[in-house]
């Protein structure tokens, strides 16, 4: 056996080789300072230099959707070279032809316009006539481009962002500025009904993937000039447009400044979803507890804006982020506002019970069966042990098998095509449950416990919070299997300590602290009648704490 060859093979496996070592070509890694970043460069008055940067950045010889159209302008019968660049499929070619190329190439019969000339005298006392390029730029901006949105750009960083968003950019020789023209024309999904936050009574429209459509829906829902929408680009490579939305006369200035600071100080390459952004801006990421609200409903976002909260929109995502958030917000539904207080409070208490059932019911079952049988009536205890007589596995194994099976059925129902999903959920649960009981793998009582727990988890309005409860339930189950009710008590103590320590943008997670203070007329845990909701939540510290007058129904008390 050749040990030297074996040694060399092992060395090659554990030793890194660069591309120049592994392949038949060399990699030229240049660190020369002469190579500059195109994104940091300024627009040059030389059109060829600008074209070179565009070609190098967008690989125009390879990319088939990058369109560059060259043409000429005339000034005092002198031609000026120019070109436009846009991305096919993201820009409207009809708008480009009608409102950019046609005015620039066919305006006036002679296709000329005059520019002012500047006379200067050089050292040899010769008169030199120079054309004023600034006047040419002004003429193009004011007379030749009938666009409602035109921005002069001097940095390629802004130009690249505009092109990637679907705009068209015009370069003209002798001009050190480019013209950024809004001609977006990409296809997008139309506004439709919400898919996840379904309510019976209330608005039936949801956000879409276009950030500008979403901001317009917020404008329409709030219907106030106090709504401020700030644009922020996140991601060094993706430059994903995000917006910070708030009411300037209600939202706390410190809260807005903190949100702005966190977004402006994200050093990442790409941002693709609100889920990523949620992980990047929240304080306590070591826990799996959601700390911001996520919604697809403009009416829910508008309601929280009027409460003094901040809304963040991310381009390409039909959801928005609402912050700060408390635990009460996660068990509240958008429909609560449209119901009478007695109905809304009943549903909120029902959801609170569903939260407790989802979190603790399996662990309580294990604790009673294994440690505290004396809590059950004798007949029920005998029936329970009779049902488990032929089951050969410990109760923790039974429970985990059924819980995981239920989660698999839930996940399969979500991933398969929608007409088949409900069928798989119902048939899968019935068939698996009946087969497991018939095979003496689990007891019938356990099937009931798992079914009730699963149904209760569906009653949680917020998907992220419901997912958190489903994951945490397994920890309580293990604690109950180890120490019974003592394990559950210790787990609850640790869980409550964690909840007390969490803050969502400076707001305690277990707020509102005045949830049972009926003297403070605000809508807290228990929904108050609309005419009694005089104040906004004080824990958000809004600029304007009073939401309405003491007597809102003037028709009932005309003399007060």
Is residue 199 assigned to a domain?
no
Domain shared by 54 and 171, yes or no: yes
Q: Is the confidence at residue 17, as pLDDT, over 80? A: no
Domain shared by 149 and 231, yes or no: no
Answer yes or no: are the C-beta atoms of 208 and 188 closer than 8 Å: yes
Is residue 515 assigned to a domain?
no
Residue finishing a domain among 325, 357, 389 = 325
Domain shared by 249 and 383, yes or no: no
Domain shared by 109 and 252, yes or no: no
Q: H or E element: which one contains 181?
A: strand 178-181
Query: What is the domain extent for residue 442?
Result: 342-508
Both tokens of 510, joined, read: 């277990």
Could you tell me what percentage of the chain is helix, strand and coil, using 3-state DSSP and rounding each to the nearest 5? 45, 15, 40
Is residue 335 assigned to a domain?
no
* pLDDT tens track for 63-98: 999 999 999 887 667 788 999 999 999 999 999 999
Instruction: Tell me the C-alpha distance between 37 and 203, whole Å.
Output: 49
* pLDDT tens track for 467-495: 999 999 999 999 999 999 999 999 999 99
Domain shared by 348 and 497, yes or no: yes
Is residue 132 assigned to a domain?
yes
* Buried-state track 192-203, b at ≥16 Cβ within 10 A, e below 16: eebeebebeebb
Is residue 546 assigned to a domain?
no
What pLDDT is stored for residue 12 in this prediction?
Answer: 57
Residue finishing a domain among 268, 298, 325 = 325
Domain shared by 48 and 144, yes or no: yes
Contacts of 535 (CB under 8 A, 6+ apart): 520, 521, 522, 545, 546, 547
Give the number of C-alpha atoms closer than 13 A to the C-alpha of residue 91, restricted to the C-beta side: 29
- With pLDDT > 70 as the criterion, what percentage of the chain qualifies? 83
Is residue 313 assigned to a domain?
yes
* pLDDT tens track for 124-147: 555 444 445 567 888 888 888 888
Domain shared by 258 and 350, yes or no: no
Contacts of 233 (CB under 8 A, 6+ apart): 161, 239, 240, 241, 242
Residue finishing a domain among 163, 181, 199 = 181
What pLDDT is stored for residue 539 in this prediction?
Answer: 87
What pLDDT is stored for residue 159 in this prediction?
Answer: 94
Is residue 238 assigned to a domain?
yes
- Residue in the structure block whose two tokens are 């370069």: 171
Contacts of 467 (CB under 8 A, 6+ apart): none
Instruction: Tell me the C-alpha distance between 13 and 36, whole Å.
Output: 37
* pLDDT tens track for 311-346: 999 999 999 999 999 999 999 988 888 889 899 999
Domain shared by 264 and 366, yes or no: no
Domain shared by 262 and 348, yes or no: no
Domain shared by 468 and 368, yes or no: yes
Domain shared by 369 and 484, yes or no: yes
Give the pLDDT band (50/70/90) at residue 25.
very low
The number of folded domains in the chain is: 3
Domain shared by 348 and 414, yes or no: yes
Is residue 1 assigned to a domain?
no
């Amino acid at each position: 056996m050749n040990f030297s060859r074996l040694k060399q093979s092992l060395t090659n496996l554990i030793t890194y080789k660069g591309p120049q070592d592994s392949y038949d070509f060399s990699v030229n890694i240049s660190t020369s300072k002469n190579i500059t970043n195109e994104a940091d460069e300024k627009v040059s008055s030389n059109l060829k230099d600008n074209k070179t940067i565009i070609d190098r950045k967008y690989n125009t010889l390879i990319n088939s959707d990058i369109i560059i159209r060259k043409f000429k302008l005339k000034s005092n019968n002198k031609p000026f070279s120019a070109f436009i660049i846009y991305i096919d499929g993201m820009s409207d070619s009809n708008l480009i032809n009608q409102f950019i190329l046609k005015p620039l190439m066919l305006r006036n019969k002679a296709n000329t316009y005059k520019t002012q000339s500047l006379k200067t005298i050089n050292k040899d006392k010769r008169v030199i006539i120079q054309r004023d390029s600034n006047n040419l730029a002004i003429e193009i901006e004011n007379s030749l481009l009938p666009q409602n949105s035109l921005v002069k750009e001097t940095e390629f960083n802004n130009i690249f962002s505009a092109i990637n968003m679907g705009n068209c950019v015009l370069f003209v020789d002798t001009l050190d500025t480019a013209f950024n023209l809004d001609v977006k024309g990409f296809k997008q999904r139309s506004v439709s009904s919400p898919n996840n936050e379904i309510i019976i009574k209330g608005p039936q429209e949801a956000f879409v993937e276009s950030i500008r459509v979403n901001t317009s829906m917020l404008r329409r829902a709030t219907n106030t000039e106090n709504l401020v929408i700030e644009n922020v680009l996140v991601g060094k490579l993706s430059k994903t447009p995000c917006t910070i939305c708030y009411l300037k006369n209600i939202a706390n200035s410190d809260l807005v400044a903190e949100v702005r600071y966190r977004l402006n100080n994200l050093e990442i390459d790409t941002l693709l979803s609100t889920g990523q952004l949620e992980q990047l801006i929240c304080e306590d990421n070591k826990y799996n507890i959601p700390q911001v609200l996520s919604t697809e409903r403009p009416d829910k976002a508008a309601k929280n804006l009027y409460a003094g909260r901040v809304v963040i929109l991310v381009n390409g995502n039909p959801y928005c982020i609402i912050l700060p958030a408390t635990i009460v917000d996660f068990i509240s539904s958008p429909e609560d506002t449209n119901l009478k207080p007695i109905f809304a409070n009943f549903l909120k208490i029902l959801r609170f019970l569903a939260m407790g059932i989802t979190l603790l019911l399996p662990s309580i079952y294990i604790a009673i069966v294994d440690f505290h049988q004396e809590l059950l009536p004798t007949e029920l205890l005998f029936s329970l042990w009779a049902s488990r007589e032929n089951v050969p596995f410990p109760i923790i194994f039974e429970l985990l098998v059924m819980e995981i099976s239920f989660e698999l059925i839930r996940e399969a129902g979500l991933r398969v095509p929608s007409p088949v999903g409900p069928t798989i959920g119902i048939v899968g649960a019935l068939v698996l449950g009946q087969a497991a009981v018939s095979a003496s793998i689990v007891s019938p009582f356990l099937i009931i416990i798992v079914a009730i727990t699963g149904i209760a988890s569906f009653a949680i309005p917020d998907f992220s919070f419901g997912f958190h409860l489903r994951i945490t339930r397994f920890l309580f189950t293990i604690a109950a299997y180890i120490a019974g009710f003592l394990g559950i008590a210790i787990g609850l103590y640790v869980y409550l300590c964690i909840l007390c320590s969490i803050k969502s943008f400076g707001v305690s997670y277990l707020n509102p602290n005045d949830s049972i203070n009926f003297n403070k007329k605000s809508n807290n845990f228990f929904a108050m009648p609309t005419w009694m909701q005089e104040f906004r939540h004080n824990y958000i510290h809004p600029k304007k704490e009073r939401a309405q007058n003491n007597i809102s129904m003037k028709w009932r008390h005309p003399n007060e």
